[in-house]
Amino acid sequence: MDKRAEMYIKSIIHYIHGKSQYGSVVYAYDVVNEHITNLGAGGWGRIYGASRNNVFVKNAFQFTHEELVKQGKRGSVKLFYNDYNTYENTDAIIALINYVNQGRSANQWYCDGVGMQMHLDVNYPSVNAVGNTIDKFKNAGFEIQITELDVTINFHRNSGHTLENQAKYYGDLFKMLVQKKKGGANITSVTLWGLHDGVSWRGERRRNGSNGGWANCMPLLFTDLNTPKAAFNEVINAAKS
């Protein structure tokens, strides 16, 4: 399996940066995804076991790093570990990335940083909890990217939250991100996970627990392509702060 991983990873990197005309637009890779949160799940877990600091994770970053060096691209392409619920598993993720980079100097790490998926709800987590996680990643020396951001209302139950509550949450979240970046956190990207509520993977109506009702989760900044929500204005105002 080590050899299969090496062949696959290096073949992909070789093609993108050695053969494809689009290699110049690739500036980062999500090398390993959701290992900590889905510990032991899937084929990799069945073969390599459910240890958090797992050799197949380190191998994946090492193989990617080696082929990028060979292609002369490592200086311009960053490598990330990506996961959801990072505010619940912060210390384990830091330990994993430190394990991947063990024995390497800071300017030659295999893993440059962490991708925070951030599928959030106005109920949970708090903006402060997300900020505390960013502080820990900053102190560990990691580059930080917000990779899959959306904020639902009434996702788990009909809690009575409104679009105004969502707008405030989005605004507070982006004000915090701006503040953290100004304070030295190396936040280099924020990606919203979808164009509008109508095409969001979390935008469909979901059953509200025991009461059997339904609620539209409405997680993004636009209702449709032509209709910005109050949350959009809050994000724009926060970005200007």
Taking the CB of residue 39, how many other CB atoms lie within 10 A of it?
A: 15
Based on the fold, state whether residues 57 and 124 are members of the same structural domain. Answer: no
The CB density around residue 129, as the number of other CB atoms within 10 Å, is 13
Question: Which tokens hold the place of 223?
Answer: 């209702």
Q: Which pLDDT score, from 0 to 100, does residue 205 have? A: 53
Is the model's pLDDT at 210 over the cut of 50? no
Question: Is the per-residue pLDDT at 207 higher than 80?
Answer: no
Q: What are phi and psi of 62, to 5 degrees?
A: -65, -45
Task: Verify that 82 and 128 share a domain, yes or no.
Answer: no
148 annotated active-site? yes
Tell me the pLDDT tens digit for each residue of 158-193.
Answer: 678 899 999 999 999 999 999 999 999 999 999 999
Q: Tell me, yes or no, whether 196 lies in a domain.
A: yes
Let me know whether 139 and 236 are in one domain.
Answer: yes
**pLDDT at 157 exceeding the cut of 80:** no
Beta strand 227-228 pairing with 28-33:
unpaired
109 falls within a domain: no
pLDDT band, very low/low/confident/very high, at 206 (cuts 50, 70, 90): low
Task: Please state, in angstroms and rounded to a whole number, the distance separating the CA atoms of residues 73 and 12.
Answer: 14
Q: Which of 69, 86, 103 is the last residue of a domain?
A: 86
Same domain, 31 and 122: no
Which residue type sits at 202?
A: R
219: in domain: yes
Q: Compute the average pLDDT of residues 216-231.
A: 93
- Give the 3-state secondary structure of residue 229: coil
Query: Could you tell me which of 109, 116, 104, 110 has the C-alpha nearest to residue 33?
Result: 116
**Which of the following is catalytic: 6, 34, 66, 88?**
34
Rounded CA separation 165/147 (Å): 23
Percentage of the chain exceeding pLDDT 70? 94
Tens of pLDDT, residue by residue over 76-125, are: 999 999 999 999 999 999 999 999 999 999 889 999 999 999 999 999 99
Q: For the whole model, what pTM was predicted?
A: 0.93
Q: Please give the residue range of the domain that contains residue 18.
A: 1-86
Please state, rounded to an integer, the average pLDDT across all residues of the chain.
93
Q: Alpha carbon of 64 to those of 27, 98, 106, 160, 233: distances in Å?
A: 13, 17, 17, 46, 40
Checking if the pLDDT of 209 tops 60, the result is no
User: Catalytic residue at 6?
Assistant: no
User: CATH number, domain at 149?
Assistant: 3.20.20.80
Same structural domain, 66 and 164: no
Instruction: Return the pLDDT at 204.
Output: 62
Q: What pLDDT, on a 0 to 100 scale, did the predictor assign at position 212?
A: 46
At residue 196 the predicted structure's pLDDT band, cuts being 50, 70 and 90, is very high
Find the catalytic residue in 67, 143, 148, 204.
Answer: 148
Cβ atoms of 220 and 232 closer than 8 Å: no
